[in-house]
Chain A
């Protein structure tokens, strides 16, 4: 149980284009989803917290207009990287928490984004 999927697992795009990453909770309802960014050999950095039906809460220093988050349902959240640049290349990971257990998160396998 408590499986989270991400799609795509790997994407390459050109500078200036936009890329959408999906995060789905497959067997549970996730009231809250989190989006992280992981640089090589570094820790996960929380980008934003996404609650179903409301606007995402972004961490300090994260551009909300660049990283658009939509939590349309209790099983789906999307992260859109708009006007991507090479410095946006990274590993993006989502997690979801089960309603009533907000401190326990279940992680997706991550999406490797490369911007050329």
Chain B
């Protein structure tokens, strides 16, 4: 079945540092890929997405590129802020079939940014 693997956390950075959170997936065909963010006490929010190979999703300074050849969707940000402290989830949904629309999540990565 489909699966998503994220780098283990927690990740602790100083403000303005560069962030990378690795995400790789296993799925047939061309799934859609997502990054969700969960701020303390809140529900998950969609951060960015990519629906086909080589697409780059971006939002709030975060970027991730859909790499079919390496089955990866790594999240990056050039300069993190304290307000970026949250849990980040990589996820996918199949391109079609009976599981279309169902999300498979990675285990989540806790990011803490210090001033």
Contacts and interface: CB of A to CB of B under 8 A. Distances in A.
Nearest to A109: B43
B101 interface: yes
B69 interface: no
B41 A109 contact: yes
B45 A32 contact: no
Main secondary structure, interface of A, reads: strand
Nearest to B38: A107
Interface residues on A, range: 20 to 34
Contacts of B41: 109
Given A102-B100, A103-B32, A43 B43 contact: no
Nearest to A105: B103
Nearest to B51: A103
Interface string A90-104: 000101010000111
- In the complex, which of the residues A32, A42, A43, A104 has the most CB atoms of chain B within 10 Å of its own CB atom? A43
A93 B105 CA distance: 13
Contacts of B36: 107
A115 B108 CA distance: 25
Interface in B17-56: 32, 36, 41-46, 49
B43 A93 contact: yes
A4 B106 CA distance: 22
B58 interface: no
Given A93-B44, A105-B46, 20 more contacts: A34-B103, A41-B107, A41-B108, A44-B44, A44-B103, A46-B102, A46-B104, A49-B101, A93-B43, A95-B103, A97-B101, A103-B93, A103-B100, A103-B101, A107-B36, A107-B44, A107-B45, A109-B41, A109-B42, A109-B43
Interface of B: 32, 36, 41-46, 49, 89, 93, 100-108
